[in-house]
Amino acid sequence: MDPDVIYKPVKKELDLVFEKIVNVSSKYDKDKKNQQVFEQLSHVLSVPGKRIRPSITLLVSNLWGESDIDKTILMATGVELLHIATLVHDDTVDHANLRRGHKTASSLWGRNAAVLIGDYIFATSAIFVCETNNVRLIKRFAETITELSRGELNEINDSWKPIISEDKYYQRIYDKTASLFCTATESGALLGKSTEKNSNDLKNFGYFLGMAYQIIDDLLDYKYSTDDIGKPSTNDLREGIMTLPSIYAYNNGLEKEINNYMNSSEEKRLSALPKLVDKIRNSGGIEYSEKKSKDLLDSGKKILNNLPNSTYKNSLEIIVEYLGSRKK
């Protein structure tokens, strides 16, 4: 993905978003009593990301030329901070040591500190959204936090359970990922003074984008190495989490192997993992998941086709193409 092409229409606004994010930690810069807090927040908030979610909010808000830019910047900042907070908590729950090639908060300062760092950023994200003074957005943002939490809880509750239906998996990834994409797109539309129909359409666009994003993310865990994706590969199965490739494999010939793996001792699982991953890769689950993600992205493209042409719409189309081809 070429950031200059995608973000060009909203580069000025996006820079302001990340200036606000940096300022979350910089207020502690010269405070000796809170120096470690500054270091912890600075580390977490400076890890480079794709900037997709806040960019979507900014781009969507400009589709009709009516954006309330100050409030949109606040909302986009809240969206990105919420995303960062979920990553801190995800990495803590998953015992992950790396995120985008950088050490995670939990690996640097321990899981207790990481949870509190995530909580701090969660709360800060809500402050930015409240500053929009838009009750509908504040309510939707609160709903998103509950959905994100529910998704993580269900992932924990379903771990080491090999029998997971596709529908349950789709609900989980809506909660974990697509819910925030829906909020990013719907909030942009509302702040861009769209019609109710366009707001609903853009929320659906966010749904299709977010669902495809998470399916592809789960695919990368099987397709590429740790060096390729910047975080531990095959981590899902190592943590007992069934995702779409393994769910497909379970339902198409690998039921016995996956059951045995899930019910084995940790030592046996570690030795069995590479062979089982190869079997899942060759089960057709990769291709099946790729088809599902493509269908979702195609549905998103259809929604964009009905919107007025502009550089903002063009950037959204490029984001869709990028998501379909990403490798990290």
Q: What is the CA radius of gyration of the chain?
A: 20
* φ/ψ of residue 49, rounded to 5: -120, -175
pLDDT in tens, 27-49: 876 676 788 999 999 999 987 67
Q: Which helix (H) or strand (E) is 102 found in, with range?
A: strand 102-103
Tokens of 267: 């030592």
What average pLDDT does range 74-95 have in this prediction? Answer: 94
Q: Which domain holds residue 247?
A: 3-325
Q: How far apart are CA 6 and CA 315, in angstroms?
A: 5
| Beta-carbon count within 10 A of 135 CB | 9
Please count the other Cβ atoms lying within 10 Å of the Cβ belonging to residue 5. 12
Percentage of residues in the chain with pLDDT exceeding 70?
Answer: 95
Dist CA 10 CA 120 (whole Å): 28
Residue 35 contacts residue 28 (beta carbons within 8 Å): yes
Report the pLDDT value the prediction gives residue 151, as an integer from 0 to 100: 96
Helix (H, G, I), strand (E, B) or coil at 103: strand
State the total domains in the chain: 1
- pLDDT at res. 229: 46
CATH code at position 242: 1.10.600.10
Q: Does the structure show a pLDDT above 90 at 99?
A: no
Q: Tell me the whole-structure pTM to 2 decimals.
A: 0.93
pLDDT surpasses 60 at 232: no
51: left (phi over 0), alpha (psi -120 to 50) or beta: left
**What does the alpha-carbon distance between residue 161 and residue 238 come to, in Å, rounded to a whole number?**
13
